[in-house]
Amino acid sequence: MPYLGGEETVRELRRALSNPHVQADRLRYRAAVLRVIRHMARGEDVSGLFPEMVKASAAADVVQKKLVSLYVRAQAPQQPQLALLAVNTLRKDCAHPSPAVRGLALRSMCGLRMPGIQEYLQQPLLSGLRDKASYVRRAAVLGCAKMLRLQGDCEVDGALVNELYSLLRDQDPIVVVNCLRALEEILKKEGGVVINKPIAHHLLNRMADLDQWGQSEVLTFLLRYKPRSEQELFDILNLLDGYLKSSSPSVVMAATKLFLVLAREYPHVQADVLVRVKGPLLSACTSESRELCFTALCHVRQILGSLPGHFSSHYKKFFCSYSEPHYIKCQKMEVLCELVNDENVQQVLEELKGYCTDVSVELAQGAIFAIGNIARTYTEQCVGILTELLGLQQEHITSAVVQAFRDLVWLCPQCTDAVCQALPTCEDTIQDSEGKQALIWLLGTHGEKVPNAPYVLEDFVENVKSEMFPAVKMELLTALVRLFLSRPAECQDMLGRLLYYCIEEEMDMAVRDRGLFYYRLLQSGVEEVKRVLCSPKSDPSLGLLEDKTERPVNSWASEFNTLAPVYGRERWALITAHQPAEPSYIGSTDSRNRDTESLLSEGSKEVLKVHPDTGNLTLIPDVYLTAEQFEKIWLSLDTSCQLSLPWSGAVHPDTIQTALHVVHIQTIAMSKAGVQPWKAYLSAQDDTGCLFLTELLLEAADSEMQVSVKQREAKPEALQTFISALRTVMGTVAGLES
C-alpha cells in the first residue's frame, strides 16, 4: 500500500483518472473521483490532480460534477491559474439543458475564492437571475451576495440591485427570501434592504406561501416598516394574527416581536399578545432542545419584568428535571423566584429545598440563594428552611446559607434575631472566602446578639497567619473593630494582636493600610470610631425596590427575539459596541431604473453623505478635556457640519457612553435618562492632533437626533471619516434602544 498522502498515492489516482477504460465506465469514474475527495478530506495534498479533476467535471454525471465542485472550490485559492480551466467548463455548464447542472455550475463558480473571478461571474449570474428554473434563480440570487463579498469595497452594481429588487415579486417563495438576504448583504453599508409600503404589502401577501424559516425572515424584515395610519397598522396585525399560533417557535417569536414593536402606542394590544404567546413559550421551555429551552426561559424572565406573575398559574412547568443541564436549572430557579405568591409559596419552597442537596455544588448553592431571595417576602418560612439546612453540616451548603443570611439581614432587619440564633457552630464547616466574609460580617455587625461572637472571631485571629484570602483579613479587621465598640472587654486583647500583625507582619499592602487606618482611627477616640463605623446606613429597601420595578414593554420590545435577553442588556450592548465599525456607503442610484426608484422613494433620507474613500482616521485614547476647556474651545469654533440621525425610543446614557468609549470618543457631559430635550457633549482627537467637538440633541422621543460637529483644524476628509464612525456607533446604539 502506498504511503498515506505520498507521491505514489497521487500517481495511482492520476492513473485511475486518466485511464480511458475508467472514463468509459460511469461508476468506476465516479469512484475514482470519490477516492480523491476522501484523500483531500483527510488533509492529504492532492493538488497535483487538478487538471485531471477539471477534466472529470466535463462528464455528464451530475453526482460526479458535485464531487469535482468540492475539489475545485477547495483547491482554487492555491492554484488560481489552473482554476481558470474549471471556470471555462463551469461557464459551459451554465448553459446546460438541465436546471440541476446550471444551478450547480453557478454555485461552484461563486464558491471559487480567487482574484479576478468577478469578471467571469457577472454575465452568468444575470442570466441565472432570469432563468426559467426556480432552482437556478435561487442559486443565482445567493451567488450575487457571494460575488459582492469577493469584490470588497468596489462600487455596487446598480443593475444587479435592480434585478434583485424585481425578483422580490418572483413566483418562487424561496427566491423571494433569498433576495431579501442577498440585498441585505449587498446593501449593508447603506443600511440594508429598504422595506417601504409596496414591498411590505407584497411580502405580507406572500407569507402564506413561505416555509417557516422564510416566514421568520420576512417577519424580521417587516420590523423596518412603519405603518402610515392606524387603520393600516391594525390591518397588518390582523393579517399576522394567525402566526402567533404557528407550530414553529421561530415564527411565533418573530411575530410576537413584530406585534410588540408595531403596537408600541397600544399597551393593551401588547398585553394581549403576551397572553396569547404564553402557550408557545411554555412549550418551548419544556422542549427537548436545550438551546431552545434556555432561550425561551430567558425571554420568559424578560416578560416577567413587565408582567409580574404572568406565568404564576403554570409554575410547575418550571420545576427542574434531573436530566436537564445545569444552566437550564439555574434559569428555572430564577423564574420560580419571580412566580412565588401566597398560593404556591409552599410548593415552590419545597421544590427548591430539594435542589439544595443536589450533587452539583453550584446548583445547590443557587437553590439556597433562590430561597434567600424569596425570603425577602416570605421571611419566616424561608429562614426556617435555611436554618434546617445548617444541620446538614455540609461546607458548601453552610457557606451559601450564611451568605444568604447576610443579604437577608441587610434587607429585612426584622429577621436579625432568628439569624443570630442560627449562627453558632457555623464556623466549623466554612472554608471558602465568601462564606468566611459573610460570617465575619454578621458577627461584627450583630455580635452583641451572638453570645460566642468574640470567641469565633478569636479563632480567626489565631489563624490569621495561615489565612490565604486578603479579603477575609480585611473583613476581620472591620468586624473586630465594630464588635469592640459593643463588647470592648472581650475584644480588646485580640484586636491589639490583630492590628499588630496587620501592621508589622502582613505582606499584603491593602490589609496593612486597612490596619493602619483603624489603628489611627482608634487613637482619635471611641466616639470618632462610632461616628465613622456606626453612621446611618442607606435605606436597605432601595436595592429591593430597584429590582422589583416593573419595566414597560416598550423598553425591551426591540430586544425581544434577539441575543440581548440571553446575554443581558448591558453585556450585549458592550459586545455589540466592540464590533468593528464600518464606514457608511452611499451607492450611486443613477443606474437604477424608474421602478426601483419608486420602491426606494419612501426610504430614509440622510443630511450628510459620507463615503468610505475619505481616508483612514485613528482616534487616540485617554485624551480628556475638562468642561471648562470644552466650553472655551466650543464657543471659539464655527460649526463644521450638521446632520440628523434617526432615533426612536428611550435614551440610555450608559449604553451610549460605553459604545463611544470603545472607539475613543470621550463624553464631556450627558443628560440623564428621560430628560427632554436630551443633550450630550463629546470630544475626540486623531493622531495628527485634530480635535473634534460634538453636540448631540434629541428634542423628544421617537424623533431625529441632531448632531453638530466642530473641528479645530479644517480637514474635510478627517471630518467625514469621523462622522462616519460616529454614525455607525449611534446607529448601533439606536438599534438596541429602539
pLDDT 10s digits, 497-512: 999 999 999 888 999 9
For residue 666, the cross-strand partners are: 683
Q: Return all residues near 505 (Cβ < 8 A) that are at least 6 apart.
A: 465
Per residue in 512-542, pLDDT (tens digit) is 999 999 999 999 888 888 888 877 665 554 4
Beta strands 641-646 and 666-670: pairing type? unpaired
What's the pTM value of the predicted model, to 2 decimals? 0.69
- All three cell numbers of 149: 463579498
pLDDT over 60 at 615, yes or no? no
What is the mean pLDDT of the segment spanning 653-667? 82
- Amino acid occupying residue 98: S
Return the pLDDT at 547: 46
pLDDT over 80 at 134, yes or no? yes
Residue 646 sits at φ, ψ, to 5 deg, of -65, 140
Strand locations in 364-486 (E): none
Per residue in 340-389, pLDDT (tens digit) is 999 999 999 999 999 999 888 999 999 999 999 999 889 889 999 999 99
What is the rounded CA–CA span in Å between residue 105 and residue 102? 5
pLDDT over 50 at 677, yes or no? yes
119 band by pLDDT with thresholds 50, 70 and 90: confident
> Mean pLDDT, the chain, as a whole number?
83
Return the pLDDT at 590: 35
Return the pLDDT at 579: 55
Per residue in 618-648, pLDDT (tens digit) is 788 767 788 888 888 888 888 888 888 888 7
Q: What is the DSSP string of 605-669?
A: --SS---TTS----BPSS----HHHHHHHHHHS---EEEEEE--S---HHHHHHHHHHTTPEEEE
Beta strands 691-698 and 704-711: pairing type? antiparallel
Return the pLDDT at 58: 78
Per the CB < 8 A criterion, the answer to whether 110 and 121 are in contact is: yes
Q: In this prediction, what percent of the chain has a pLDDT beyond 70?
A: 90
Return the pLDDT at 18: 84
What is the rounded CA–CA span in Å between residue 6 and residue 26? 27
438 band by pLDDT with thresholds 50, 70 and 90: very high
Per residue in 219-249, pLDDT (tens digit) is 999 999 989 889 999 999 999 999 998 889 9
> Is the C-alpha dihedral spanning 26, 28, 29, 35 positive or negative?
positive
Per the CB < 8 A criterion, the answer to whether 506 and 515 are in contact is: yes
- Cα pseudo-dihedral 645, 651, 657, 658, rounded to 10: -100
Q: Return all residues near 525 (Cβ < 8 A) that are at least 6 apart.
A: none
Per residue in 405-415, pLDDT (tens digit) is 998 988 888 88
- Report which of 90, 43, 85, 88 is spatially closest to residue 66, judged by C-alpha positions: 90
545 band by pLDDT with thresholds 50, 70 and 90: very low
Per residue in 563-577, pLDDT (tens digit) is 989 988 778 877 776
Q: How far does the chain reach from its first CA to its final CA, in angstroms?
A: 65
Per the CB < 8 A criterion, the answer to whether 131 and 102 are in contact is: yes
Return the pLDDT at 701: 65
pLDDT over 90 at 477, yes or no? yes
What is the rounded CA–CA span in Å between residue 482 and residue 492? 11
585 band by pLDDT with thresholds 50, 70 and 90: very low
578 band by pLDDT with thresholds 50, 70 and 90: low
pLDDT over 80 at 114, yes or no? no
What is the mean pLDDT of the segment spanning 296-315? 90
Per residue in 15-52, pLDDT (tens digit) is 888 888 888 888 888 898 888 888 888 888 887 887 88
616 band by pLDDT with thresholds 50, 70 and 90: low
Angle, alpha carbons 488-489-494 (nearest 5°): 80
What is the rounded CA–CA span in Å between residue 450 and residue 175? 75
Return the pLDDT at 71: 84
Residue 475 sits at φ, ψ, to 5 deg, of -65, -35
Return the pLDDT at 398: 92
Return the pLDDT at 669: 86
What is the mean pLDDT of the segment spanning 89-113? 84
pLDDT over 80 at 425, yes or no? no
Q: What is the DSSP string of 128-179?
A: HHT-SSHHHHHHHHHHHHHHHHHHTTSPP-HHHHHHHHHGGG-SSHHHHHHH
- All three cell numbers of 680: 450630550
273 band by pLDDT with thresholds 50, 70 and 90: very high
pLDDT over 90 at 122, yes or no? no
Q: Return all residues near 625 (Cβ < 8 A) that are at least 6 apart.
A: 633, 666, 668, 683
- Helix/strand/coil for 689: coil
Return the pLDDT at 185: 87
What is the mean pLDDT of the segment spanning 104-116? 79
Residue 320 per-residue DSSP state: P
pLDDT, greater one: 85 or 249: 249
Return the pLDDT at 676: 78
Return the pLDDT at 606: 31
